[in-house]
Amino acid sequence: MNDQLKPPGQILLSEQQIENRIKELGQQITNDYENKAPLLIGVLKGAFIYMADLARAISLPIEFDFMAVSSYGNATKTSGVVRIVKDLDIDLSGRDVIVVEDIIDSGLTLNYLRKNLESRGPTSLEVCALLVRSGRQVGELGLKYVGFEIPPDFVIGYGLDVAEKYRNLPDLWSYDPSLD
């Protein structure tokens, strides 16, 4: 790895581990939604790489839309205040919707999103999260698809960032700000 790109921290999940798990999730979604055309909603910016790889692992006719929500800003801890920065373009009425999330921390953002999206009348609404930070959730999240449970460390790579840096790393790293 180029030293300019080497992040401060340790690898938690390798590119190969991530790829293998996404193939499994794609097959599970393909089986669960047989003869349907689910709408994948990517939560920007962190989920864009994950959503692209997941979409290629699903053997169904799917559609895409994106939302951007903010609860972090440039910080490494959530502010607890969720706001929609970019809303959907597609009507959810009567659709089978899968929200594609990069990481679930406290679950507050997810709960806000779920309520907001359910109010738009989808036939079904599930969540496919790549990562869930262990021990951080406030209540049951009801996640149908989860890639990995990870320690409560702040992580970067594979679409996740700190102050917009490190999204392009192919692996997932624990972030140590004292080394940055």
Please identify every residue annotated as catalytic: 105
Please state, in angstroms and rounded to a whole number, the distance separating the CA atoms of residues 159 and 140. 25
Which residues neighbour 156 within 8 Å (Cβ) at sequence distance 6 or greater? Answer: 7, 9, 162, 165, 166, 167, 169, 172, 173, 175
Please, what's the b/e burial string for 66-75 (b: 16 or more CB within 10 A of its CB; e: otherwise)? bbebbbbeee
Q: Give the angle 151-171-97 at the CA atoms, nearest 5°.
A: 75
Cα angle at 130 between 37 and 42, to 5 degrees?
A: 50
What residues form DSSP beta bridges with 160?
A: 157
The 3-state DSSP class for residue 30 equals helix
